[in-house]
Amino acid sequence: MSDMKRVLAVILAGGASERLSILAAERAKPAVPFGGKYRIIDFTLSNCCNSGIYNVAILTQFNPRSLIQHVGVGRPWDMDRERGGIVLLQPFLSRSGRNWYKGTADAVYQNMYFIVDQRVDEIMILSADHIYSMRYDQMLDSHRNRHADVTVAVYEVPQEDTGRFGIITLDHNGRIVNFEEKPKAAKSRLASMGIYIFNKKVLIDALEEMAKEDKGHDFGIDILPNLIGKADVYGFRFHGYWRDVGTVEAYWQANMDLIVDLPELNLYNPENEVRTVFHGYPPVKLGPKAQTSRALICNGAIVNGTVIDSIISQKVFIEEDAVIRNSIIFEDSTIGRGSIVDKSIIDKQVWVSRGSRIGSGEDFTPNKDEPTHLNTGITIVGKGARIPPDCTIGRNCKIETWVEASDFLSKEIASGETIKAKSPRRYQI
């Protein structure tokens, strides 16, 4: 393992995510639950821990409360240390003109005072909203061996997906010769993973120049293209599992990837353990009529019904004759007797009353409020919602957070519809 004491990891964790719909309505995207017991940010933090990086700054902004509460002092990732450890940095107003972050690079620039004070040689910029397991020390070895100024992690994506990413072209030595942000006709299939290693001075100079010109504020769009040709910028090929879970469909699919017979992302490898906050819940309890097949069921769950191809989080209660298929149920939710949940995502503290059907029928009309985000048949029920008895909810529906049973004007909710709370909660008790 390389000397990682001279490295500062800066994790960008401030993003709002409209594409994740109501899953990110009351929490930052990195704090969205994943895989039954984790949060999305756990994967980046665990990668740091497994790579020996214990000097970490997390930049927060949008709805940070649950993220800050989850990270705490960093104990699950061995980062509660006197030297180094985790530091949480928030945007703030001051007489020097600081304000909300305008982009990924601006977020780092506004915390330049912190970076300058660090006794490190390299700054690693990381995103907190991807699912992957990676040894950053191997990337750092490549960076140092090549005497690079900047190294960018790249991942080969299918040709049809190149328009979603920043696409990088490498020469025969691995040097980056071209960078295009979401091109219509890509010259390469190597996508930037949003993981960068900068030599400290190179990063500071690039951010100072960006601030002086005040034209752009993003690493992928502004900083990197400007450095190509001026500095030694190399690519580092990553060959493991990596998913950008920026859409409802991608998020749902990445969860489903965990329940196949031999998942690409191996959660059971002790050398690359994914760490999270430990809760001392009791073991899973399966009732006399419980049936399960290809499922992840977390501690504290009680299953008296049927679970097929689904992920059941901690403290979920599934009553008798309830059926869960192709779905994700978040923590502390209850699925009532005789209910059917199909290809749906049920957020925390949801109560699904007896006899209800969620994700019903063959009508795949896109959601009228969010046609570009909810159009693949997945229905989402927001945090704290209450579904009335014997209610049928179609595909691509959105039941917003803290909806009460009285907010339903009909027991039949057609595909593509949205149910909103008549009196939205302004705070959580």
pLDDT band at 309 (very low <50, low <70, confident <90, very high): very high
The mean per-residue pLDDT over the stretch 356-376 comes to 97
Whether 412 and 379 have beta carbons less than 8 Å apart is answered as no
Determine the pLDDT at residue 1: 46
Residue 290 C-beta-side C-alpha neighbours within 13 Å = 17
The tens digit of pLDDT for each residue in 372-409 reads 999 999 999 999 999 999 999 999 999 999 999 999 99
Residue 429 has pLDDT above 60, yes or no: no
pLDDT band at 213 (very low <50, low <70, confident <90, very high): confident
Which amino acid is it at 207? L
Residue 230 has pLDDT above 80, yes or no: yes
Domains and CATH numbers, the chain: 7-259 (3.90.550.10), 280-419 (2.160.10.10)
The tens digit of pLDDT for each residue in 234-258 reads 999 999 999 999 899 999 999 999 9
The mean per-residue pLDDT over the stretch 17-25 comes to 90
Strand partners, 153: 236
Determine the pLDDT at residue 234: 98
Whether 98 and 110 have beta carbons less than 8 Å apart is answered as yes
The tens digit of pLDDT for each residue in 131-176 reads 999 999 999 999 999 999 999 999 999 999 898 899 999 999 999 9
Count the residues in the chain: 429
Tell me the whole-structure pTM to 2 decimals: 0.94
Q: What is the DSSP annotation of 357-398?
A: EES-SS--PPPSS-TTTS-SS-EEE-TT-EEPTT-EE-TT-E
pLDDT band at 92 (very low <50, low <70, confident <90, very high): low
Whether 361 and 394 have beta carbons less than 8 Å apart is answered as yes
The mean per-residue pLDDT over the stretch 274-295 comes to 96
pLDDT band at 94 (very low <50, low <70, confident <90, very high): low
